Structure 1
């Protein structure tokens, strides 16, 4: 009898498409997570706790803003960053969400749109995990329609006064600085709001059934006074925050593969050791059909992510391609997690096994950084040339 395949990505030999450096980075991140995160992920989820003490270690490993250049950032390629996201989400979506928000939203907004003074003040500390950032775009009444946000920034002499509320903000309750997007007389602009600024408060969202090992918060701004130096000078209009969202979506389309792969690994281990009717579950045709279908899904999703990463590194990636990758890979990852749970039977509803935890987390991943509907319409617009976003 042949030995079972411990890594489903070996089915189509993904490693042969990676460079030595890419494999080394993936292995380094995987080994670190196996030691410092994977054994504790079920407990973090059960208790609804984010492992804040892990943040400096993530910084020391170079994972925070790792695809950015300068200011203490590692300056890796897009594919290398994506592979790190894959390993992070194979542990828990909350862990990958933290790294994505820190690096691809909060840090990237400063790196791309900030002044040199803002970059020098925040990026080295954020890269080291000494300061945490969040990204305030989504509002209670305007999730998929940020162009109509209600948060306002008005001039008052040399200062700005901000009023508004942001909702579903990852890292909000632990952030040292928030990138907040607001309407002004000249369009949408971004502002850096440090924790402790008078009028700026946060409230963590409790009773979550998804992304429990992640801090999700409401940001409240009541007559928050900021100097002109707090405005991101190069961010003009909605393209400012959208450029950051595309960075985060890129990490997600890799991360979702990690959640699916871990779910399938769990199901494979169970199916080859659990005996029913005198033989392993994996010896039944229906179980093998499930495993084969899901292995093909995980493998094709990984190849799609790698192709999109190569396009990004070549400077040839288009927004609709990111949407296609996020839509496909998250949708497939949820299907994989759910199917793998059925292989585990009743055992699959406990936190001892990862698939149902991944499935619950992926419900949030399916929604944030653009819902499935938004990405479907983005792909549809690219195909037809017609905009279906507004009726």
Structure 2
């Protein structure tokens, strides 16, 4: 029976699969093989195991990590003058550079045995987050050596000799690293790289040595102008067949001291008014010995896989940390400013249009911080979730963009006038940089998240693709024949689950124990997990390789997967925090917004599906009633807005990573005015009841003389008025570069 089935069913099906399944390039295969699947696979299973996620527990810090954040990190933040860095010097001061080296900020992830700090991903993330709330330029300077770069690559792939030489020097700042991947011809498309090395013999230290003659032009290289060691990616060729029969050996990664003959380095780019070091470099006929390849000669051609492995973890920490810090800063300062700033005699935070924006800001900060913590917790446990890291990079930076845009709108003139007291301007200008680097968001969203996620997370698809590409067709038929019954059963279960939950609105979906009133959200998460899984199955079966080119469809399905991940993390965070009642408005707003986004994305998939009948069929099977969950209500928005306009444990929890500033700094000035305003709220209310609404000196004197307030209260309210007046002022200058005072 099995032989007949293989001959008449499986073999023809294998031929069909070869035609319809999307082809996988070598670079795509390397990207898919790098890292691992994790919670993303559960979400694409149609029935996520919530116990697996909730039992991870919250992220934690060791005593040494907490002491470092409370000590050197706090001290560093106090040293930073971001205005001077960004507008006057266009560089970090020598004192800060020395402080970074002395306190091993460049060795956060390097093990203690090599002189580094050996901190966890959670500690690494919290350090970058806090610094970024003070200065994006310093945050990037600390972030890059601890993310994709020589340090991480050496630890994972370097030889013992390379580790012993370089890691101590990187940890204490004797060597400053950068990594050269992007070139003018190849940004996101590494396969188009033209930087080229040729295997040859050359002279090194007076001896004939086997190596490579390399030529390159790299750009957009962070820390490039000041780097002493360059991690270099290039394509290696062996035209004389010195190493073997193959001529094209593939992308290779080497470490090159920047003082090597033929290396040109030192010029700068100026990225979006940011002051972190970034620039191009060139190599002309540079001879590189074979033992400069990371991991030695045996790693020739493995460079792309090495880079993707590193990126699978690093992309989930670096830019999400910066984005989370920026979103927290926006929530803390915008809530405070909206409370103290008055127009038409009332706080602008009481205008409903402003309240909706405040709610969005608070919701984004809550979701990003939740996802940030959950992702770093997974990394703490040794996971390298590649698709999740891509989700985090794209959606954290995009969330920062929305958050900071809304914050700028609410601050209005306060945020659009540059000067030392403007605490949002540089974060705003950093957003396009964050959106663009480590995988441009447009490509990450439209090609990577779903394109890789659907294949990697599927329990059978990748194996079926491998069977289809097996050069031994008979073996391929046998492999596929073993998979088909399992896949068919999976499809039937997914169809039944998605239809049942879709037609019943998820009312009968399961939820984990001990989650209280949040159970309704878990049920809806299970519902949409099943729907996404079914839609993925149908899309792959009906479009095959064409789905890869339908980037708008792929992007929307990726958005659904991303929302499910972000919402999972939000539920986990609420659970980890002990389900505090006062945080519930944040949870409600985030979940309602997320479900609304999921339904919009799915309906757009159905309405734009290339095969119209199948689009209508998916709509009928999974969402027969159309929109079934409304977006967050006005009541919920007001509740979220109020949470960041009043002192509370929730506000402090939400913005825990924010450096609150030195006395007199912009953030500190707004924070102090905010606190004084709340401290004198009762006094102000007495004045309003007496018909005195202004805080002018004359109005306060009138209230005192009429006995509405006491002398002590008069003093307090005057101090509040002065603090508020100082907080709403902006900087002005005699002439360009000559600051005199604030308005």
Q: Same-fold call, TM > 0.5?
A: yes
Matched, 1:312 2:379: yes
Aligned residue in 2 for 1:214: 276
Aligned residue among 79, 97, 101 for 1:59: 101
Aligned residue in 2 for 1:300: 367
Matched, 1:84 2:127: yes
Displacement after TM superposition at 1:240 (Å): 1.5
Which residues of 2 match residues 223-262 of structure 1 at below 5 A?
223-233=285-295, 235=299, 236-250=302-316, 251-262=318-329
Contact 1:57–1:129 (Cα < 8 Å) also in 2? no
Displacement after TM superposition at 1:207 (Å): 4.7
Displacement after TM superposition at 1:74 (Å): 1.1
After superposition, the Cα gap between the structure-2 partners of 1:30 and 1:138, relative to the gap in structure 1 and judged at 3 Å, is same
Aligned residue in 1 for 2:427: 358
Aligned residue in 2 for 1:101: 144
- In 1, Cα distance between equivalents of 2:306 and 2:549: 19
Displacement after TM superposition at 1:297 (Å): 0.6
Displacement after TM superposition at 1:379 (Å): 1.2
Does 323-332 or 235-244 show the bigger shift? 235-244
Deviation by residue 1:282-317 (Cα, 9 ceiling, x = unmatched): 233322221122111111111011111111122234
Provide the alpha-carbon RMSD of the alignment: 2.3
After superposition, the Cα gap between the structure-2 partners of 1:381 and 1:131, relative to the gap in structure 1 and judged at 3 Å, is same
Deviation by residue 1:132-169 (Cα, 9 ceiling, x = unmatched): 11000011110001122111111221122110101100
Deviation by residue 1:62-119 (Cα, 9 ceiling, x = unmatched): 4323123231111111111111121122123322222222122131122222222222
Contact 1:134–1:171 (Cα < 8 Å) also in 2? yes
Displacement after TM superposition at 1:26 (Å): 4.2
Displacement after TM superposition at 1:17 (Å): 4.2
- In 1, Cα distance between equivalents of 2:163 and 2:270: 36
- In 1, Cα distance between equivalents of 2:379 and 2:138: 23
After superposition, the Cα gap between the structure-2 partners of 1:106 and 1:317, relative to the gap in structure 1 and judged at 3 Å, is closer
- In 2, Cα distance between equivalents of 1:203 and 1:59: 20
Choose 1 or 2 for highest CA Rg. Answer: 2
**For 1:129, what is the secondary structure of its paired residue?**
coil
Matched, 1:132 2:176: yes
- In 2, Cα distance between equivalents of 1:390 and 1:369: 23
**For 2:77, what is the secondary structure of its paired residue?**
helix
- In 2, Cα distance between equivalents of 1:191 and 1:176: 14
**For 1:388, what is the secondary structure of its paired residue?**
helix
Aligned residue among 256, 262, 266 for 1:193: 256
- In 2, Cα distance between equivalents of 1:115 and 1:52: 35
| Corresponding residue pairs, total | 373
Contact 1:25–1:80 (Cα < 8 Å) also in 2? no
Displacement after TM superposition at 1:181 (Å): 0.8
Aligned residue in 2 for 1:6: none
Aligned residue in 1 for 2:85: 44
Deviation by residue 1:160-200 (Cα, 9 ceiling, x = unmatched): 21101011000000001100111113211111111211110
Contact 1:267–1:340 (Cα < 8 Å) also in 2? yes
- Specify which structure has the higher proportion of helix: 2
TM-score by length of 2: 0.48
After superposition, the Cα gap between the structure-2 partners of 1:48 and 1:332, relative to the gap in structure 1 and judged at 3 Å, is farther
Does 20-29 or 281-290 show the bigger shift? 20-29
